[in-house]
Amino acid sequence: MRADAPVLIVGAGVAGLATALAAAPRPVRLLCRTHDGVGSASALAQGGIAAAIDPADHPAAHARDTLVAGAHHNDATAVRWLTDEAPRTVAWLVAQGVAFDREEDGALRLGREGGHGVPRIVHAGGDATGAAMVQALRAQAQRASHIQWRGGVDVEALLWRDGRVVGLRTRDERGREEIHDAARVVLATGGIGSLFARTSNPPGADGAGLALGLAAGAAARDLEFVQFHPTALDLPHRQSLPLVTEALRGAGARLRDARGHPVMDGVHPLGDLAPRDVVARRVWQACQEGGVWLDATTVTDWPYRFPTVLAACLEHGIDPRKAPIPVTPAAHFHMGGLSIDLDGDTAVPGLHAVGEVACNGVHGANRLASNSLLEGVACGRQLGARLATLPWAARGQGAMRWIERGPSLDSGTLAMLRQLMWSAAGPQRDAATLREALRQCGLWHGWQTRLAEALLLAALRRTESLGAHCRRDALAA
Ligand code: SIN
């Protein structure tokens, strides 16, 4: 690394924050689009952190559940590493000040979620785990003398010299450019939910970091695997939708159609608690046949267990204690991303990736509930610790070149692209629709289109159904 340049981390969700904290004493500049660091998908996460903490549990059992959820498409070494690391990750978060929910005797309260064989999920503030984690890590980062914040900036290009990434260019809301020298660049920019017409992700999860990494020549991995959550609050004319956590179904809520019939009856032996992809596909179909509602009127203790969902529903005139909640599937998590090794290195020298923008194969074809915050923090800590000890490189002398993300689509075309992705690359796909979507994308010019094309091509090439990638033409064959 170069002695006079900081490590630049792009993104202030849990992955970026954990990387920044663990990189001490290396100087770090944390770049994010908002001024106060809010707006990440991490902060919206209602699930918790999975870890084999209970004496009756074991990381090997957590690993098994992760592999089953991922349809065994996972990288087994990454799974073993992550599940071994999980209890230490929770302990580190406690040391950073995250106030996880506890039993009366002070032990961490362990919940159970879909796909987990035993209770192993820790939560904070009921369904507000992500927000509690971001708040605690952000407070630590703001106190840390090695971390400098730079909010309100968008990264639009990487700087290339002597065969490596050596910096980047940002633009602020007033259009002012700034060039930042870097010892290393870490992309921690999150997922791609915003490429779809319906998503549980915040608007900033638009794939900009993934597009930039691909433009720099980093390899993509598993782009076709997008997890759709079965239950987001169905608000007409809105793209970014509040999540209605799966834990409500764990607490007895039932999915019903317009006539009040349970929609999961006869679909899967686990009914409403069937794997997420199975429920999402059924809800998708039932939505097209007249709508789906989550009847959670029998659930108790709302302000303590589900304050986030309660507040979101009340804000939109629905009291979930008295009336069913209208729900829709929504793009939720991207298992694919920039291909990285377990150290967080892309194939591009000087460029690293961590969290949802990256893919080390740990989630396989379908992420297990509550493994994403875990991955962000565990991989962030690992990458940060490594950046802290890497040797410093000499300043290069070669010619410099910009790798541009490229121009954005205008808002009207972006809305059409999102609708196209929702219908062609949503919970159910087939070759003809994917091909037609690719043809349509070819008519639009913007970095979002290039990203969409990469995903559509990956989905077209994977002709079988696997995990969250469902090819209805393969099912019919
Ligand atoms: C949920 O709470 O339903 C989502 C949790 C997750 O995505 O892990």
Average pLDDT, integer, range 305-323: 96
Domain extents in the chain: 7-224+335-401, 230-331, 408-476
Q: Is the CB of 234 under 6 A from ligand 1?
A: no
Question: pLDDT, tens digit, for every residue of 264-289?
Answer: 999 998 899 888 899 999 999 999 99
- Grade residue 435 by pLDDT with cuts at 50, 70 and 90: very high
Residue 74 scores a pLDDT above 60: yes
3-class DSSP state of 78: helix
* Interval between CA 307 and ligand 1 midpoint (Å): 15
**pLDDT grade, residue 52 (50/70/90)?**
very high
pLDDT average, residue stretch 334-363? 97
Q: Is the pLDDT of residue 259 over 80?
A: yes
Question: How far is ligand 1, taken at its centre, from the CA of residue 397, in Å?
Answer: 48
In ligand 1, the atom with minimum distance to the C-alpha of 231 is 3
What's the confidence (pLDDT) of residue 477? Answer: 47
127 CA closest ligand 1 atom index? 2
Whether the per-residue pLDDT at 35 is higher than 80: the answer is: no
Which has the minimum average pLDDT: 5-14, 28-37, 259-268, 347-356?
28-37
Whether the predicted pLDDT of 2 surpasses 70? no
Whether 339 shows a pLDDT value over 50: the answer reads: yes
Whose CA is closest to atom 4 on ligand 1?
47
Architecture of domain 230-331: Alpha-Beta Complex (3.90)
Ligand 1 centre and the CA of 276: distance in Å? 9
Place 372 in a pLDDT band, splitting at 50, 70 and 90. very high
Q: Using CA positions, which residue lies closest to atom 7 of ligand 1? A: 369
Q: Which of 198, 276, 305, 462 is catalytic?
A: 276
- Segment 371-396 shows an average pLDDT of 91
Percent of the chain residues past pLDDT 70, beyond the cut: 98
Do residues 231 and 293 make contact, with C-beta atoms less than 8 angstroms apart? no
pLDDT band, very low/low/confident/very high, at 188 (cuts 50, 70, 90) = very high
pLDDT of residue 390: 86
| Cα 370 to averaged position of ligand 1 atoms, centre (Å) | 6
**pTM recorded for the entire structure:** 0.95
CA of 368, closest atom in ligand 1: 8
- Ligand 1 binding pocket mutation candidate from 49, 120, 294, 370 (most atoms within 8 A of CB): 370
The response to whether residue 227 sits with its C-beta less than 6 Å from ligand 1 reads no
How do strand 121-122 and strand 49-50 relate by DSSP bridges?
Answer: antiparallel
Q: What is the dihedral of CA 198, 200, 205, 211, to 10 degrees?
A: -50
324 CA distance to ligand 1 middle (Å)? 20
What is the whole-number distance in angstroms between the Cα of residue 463 and the centre of ligand 1? Answer: 28
130 lines ligand 1 (CB under 6 A): no
Ligand 1 pocket, residue 246 CB under 6 Å: yes
Mean pLDDT of the chain: 94
82-101 residue pLDDT tens: 999 999 999 999 999 999 99
Taking the CA of residue 371 as reference, the ligand 1 atom at the shortest distance is: 8
- Residue 326 makes CB contacts below 8 A (sequence gap 6+) with 233, 234, 291, 292, 293, 318
Separation of 274 CA from ligand 1 center, angstroms?
Answer: 14
Q: Among 244-258, 305-319, 391-405, name the one with the lowest average pLDDT.
A: 391-405
- CATH architecture of structural domain 7-224+335-401: 3-Layer(bba) Sandwich (3.50)
CA nearest neighbour of 113 among 209, 46, 161: 46
Q: Does the domain made of 408-476 have the CATH classification 1.20.1440.130? A: no
pLDDT single digits (tens) 99-157: 999 999 999 999 888 888 899 999 999 889 999 999 999 999 999 999 999 999 999 99
Mutate which of 14, 112, 113 for ligand 1? The one with the most ligand atoms within 8 Å of its CB, which is 113
Mean pLDDT for 424-448 is 97
**Distance from the Cα of residue 92 to its chain's centroid:** 21
The stretch 415-431 carries a mean pLDDT of 97
Task: Specify the ligand 1 atom closest to the Cα of 370.
Answer: 8
Mutation probe of ligand 1 site: the residue of 245, 249, 363 with most atoms within 8 A of C-beta: 245
CA distance 161 to 37: 30
Provide the pLDDT for residue 47: 84
**Residue 3 pLDDT grade (very low, low, confident, very high; cuts 50, 70, 90):** low
User: Is 46's C-beta closer than 6 angstroms to any atom of ligand 1?
Assistant: yes
Tokens of 246: 């799966």
**Beta bridge mates, 262:** 256
* Mean pLDDT across 365-392: 95
Picking from 376, 363, 367, the residue whose alpha carbon sits closest to that of residue 129 is 376
Per the annotation, the verdict on 238 as an active-site residue is no
